[in-house]
Amino acid sequence: MFQVTADEKAEVIAICDHLSRLRFSATLPYAFTEHGALMVANALNSLRAVEVSVFVVRAAHTLDDIERRLGSHDQSIRDLVVAVRRLMA
């Protein structure tokens, strides 16, 4: 668990409509990393905690998939640029 910075708080408020009331809070909120959220969920051992654990794991896998796909796209784009430059020459 960590305390967010003022910039992080502003970003979260701008992105998440359901957290807009944080805008008027004088204190900075605390947040969990994905690993911390899983640890808390395991300790709580409730239905909601299990649902959150599954959500966090799925979100992490989705991010990994996106990063993997973007990495291969970057190489494909580089190859296309090289091929276009060769054609132009």
What's the Rg (C-alpha) of the chain?
20
49-63 mean pLDDT: 85
66-85 pLDDT, tens digit per residue, is 888 877 787 888 888 888 88
Helix axes 34-44, 47-88, angle to 10 degrees: 160
What is the percent of the chain where pLDDT is above 70?
100
Domain encompassing residue 50: 2-88
Indicate the pTM of the whole model: 0.51
Domain count, the chain: 1
